[in-house]
Copies of this chain bind each other. A is one copy, B any other.
Amino acid sequence: MLTLAEALDAVLDHCGALPPRRVVLREALGCLLAEDVATDLDLPPFDKALMDGFAVRAADFDPSQPTWFKIVETITAGMVSTRTIESGEAASIMTGAPLPPGADSVVQIERANYESMGVTLTDPDFKLGRHVLTRGREMRAGEIVARRHERLNPARLGLLASVGLTFVSVQSRPRVVIVPTGDELVEPDQVPGPGQIRNSNATLLDALALKAGAFSRTTMIAPDEPEGLAARLRDGLHEDVLLITGGVSAGKLDLVPATLERLGVLKVFHKIKVKPGKPLWFGVGPARSLGQPGTLVFGLPGNPVSAAVGFALLVAPALEVLAGGCKRATPLTTFPLAIPYAHRGDRPTYQPSKLVHGRIEPLPWAGSSDLRTLASADGLASFAEGDRDYSVGELVPFLDLS
């Protein structure tokens, strides 16, 4: 049975970045840029007024005393001036408008007094280039302004728009399909009959995949019957990642591993040394059309807490790599325990826990089907294998699921 670290290595060995896709800017939010982007023009594209005021020639202006100018025109943003500013002249100018030829500085409107046919300006802090952003000060045509592998946050998307992009090449978000299995399952809108329970895994995993930035869809419940199961799983092998829940234990109707192998999915491992989540199965499907690599197939346990733990520990890091990110484990942060904890068992345990004022409170729970306790938890505290009594204040790794 593999340790978690060995299992993660085995999963990531089969993961690579998906081919880039061109998408409209708003769909690129949160994605990694897949190309270097250069600006097609200087920004600003002209010497630009930064204040509402008057464009003048610095040589005309004496900061030590009020100076009178003749107003010769008005320039608003989007306009282009029609004449050159000569000595002793000023143009009334609005923020964002281009300076007229001849002018090199702006005195803001708050420092102006209108007087007979002109304006008297006073600005003791005046210097050449005052309140002017010179052409190309932010960037020069041809310069790279955004680089491959940068994550596209709102400011970067705005920057791409400012240099003329409406589409951009980004690392693709992976496509995930979720197939719940088990004859004991009914959909959430049904009242379970004797021996039945509701399918909560599809909702849970769909939301986990969406939160991880993937495209996700779920299928109907697949039956514990070889042909029906095979049909549902075959469909899933068109996507980048296939998540199956249930059918991976040692029971009579745990048909998932054999069915997957029959469909050409190559088993990489089955079972990991983790509690909950031990029966997890992982394999890689046959190569798809257009040279796409085989689907990553995770057979997750049927109990929802086990499925969520398997997702956090192995599926989430795989999705990160498919989306162009680094190969690494889901990050854990260490916090002190708020209460004592007795660990028993030969598997590392991920225990639903609350994080209260930076201290971990492991929650009492009814085992791996206990979604209610997971729903009231902030994440999972991680305890190493082996029997051990942990004391208050001991530092324990914590996986945030909030």
Contacts and interface: CB of A to CB of B under 8 A. Distances in A.
Contact of A192 (B41, B139, B199): B41
Given A94-B251, A97-B184, A253-B77, A153 B207 contact: yes
B98 A159 contact: no
A224 B224 CA distance: 66
A210 B95 contact: no
Interface in A77-100: 77-80, 92, 94-98
A46 B44 CA distance: 70
A40 to B, nearest CB: 7
A164 B189 contact: yes
Contacts of A153: 207, 211, 375, 401-402
A182 interface: yes
B189 A371 contact: no
Q: Is the interface of A mostly helix, strand, loop or mixed?
A: loop
A146 B95 contact: no
Nearest to A218: B26
A155 B189 contact: no
A367 B96 CA distance: 12
A3 interface: no
A166 B188 contact: yes
A374 interface: yes
A138 B79 CA distance: 70
A371 B146 CA distance: 12
B96 A198 contact: no
A26 B145 CA distance: 37
Contacts of A366: 133, 137-138
Contact of A200 (B161, B194, B200): B161
Given A76-B224, A138-B372, A203-B25, A155 B251 contact: no
18 contacts: A25-B188, A26-B207, A29-B207, A48-B369, A52-B251, A78-B183, A78-B184, A96-B197, A138-B371, A151-B402, A154-B308, A157-B204, A158-B308, A158-B371, A159-B375, A161-B203, A162-B188, A164-B191
The 7 A-B residue pairs whose C-beta atoms are closest, nearest first, are A158-B204, A78-B184, A78-B183, A154-B207, A77-B184, A94-B251, A162-B200
